[in-house]
Amino acid sequence: HDHSAHEQAPIAMEAQKEAAKSLPDFTFYQLRSGIKVSKSDVAKDKNTVFVLFDPGCNHCQQEASALEKNIDRLKDVNIYYVSMNDPALILGFFDSFAPKLSKLSNVEILVDKNQEFIQKIHVPNQFPANYVYGPDGQLKSHWEGDKNINEAIAEFHK
């Protein structure tokens, strides 16, 4: 009989190869408080931007600094910064590159302890990976890596 069906090693977790068209349920944790944040916490009245980032990534640092310089243009979107890294590294990233940005009421810094982002939303090839979901939870735009900050902010508001 044919062995091809069961010769492959089992895949431990299924990765999301295409960006999720609708925002799936997720559980991330606020960096400073440890409070759980899930899909039900996402505001339904404006776009929500998820930025998957790595604190050591140069483009991530540049984007955060550039967003900080454009804080006034970010008032009408929610921004969730999500990282799978150590909380101390995440904290250092914002202290160094975007201290004001991290304190805005519409910006949340989240720790992805269980790697749910890459399992449920998307596995990017480059950081930062930006995902813009509308108030209806549908994906409006996404890109990976470097992008002109004015173009990025325009996408946030699409």
Asked whether residue 7 carries a pLDDT value surpassing 80, the answer given is no
Identify the burial level of 157 via C-beta atoms within 10 angstroms of its C-beta, where 0-12 means exposed, 13-18 middle and 19 or more buried: middle
Largest CA distance in the chain: 66
The pLDDT of 45-69, averaged and rounded, is 97
Which pLDDT belongs to residue 17?
Answer: 86
Judge contact between 51 and 79, C-beta under 8 A. Answer: yes
Please tell me whether the overall predicted TM-score, pTM, comes out greater than 0.75 for this model.
yes
The pLDDT of 50-63, averaged and rounded, is 97
What confidence tens digit (pLDDT) does each residue in 87-143 have?
A: 999 999 999 999 999 999 999 999 999 999 999 999 999 999 999 999 999 999 999
Judge contact between 114 and 131, C-beta under 8 A. Answer: no
The candidate with the shortest Cα–Cα distance to 31, out of 75, 78, 95, is: 95
What confidence tens digit (pLDDT) does each residue in 10-24 have?
A: 444 567 889 999 999
Contacts (Cβ under 8 Å, ≥6 apart) of 151:
none
Task: Identify residue 95 by its one-letter amino acid code.
Answer: D
The candidate with the shortest Cα–Cα distance to 156, out of 56, 66, 89, is: 66
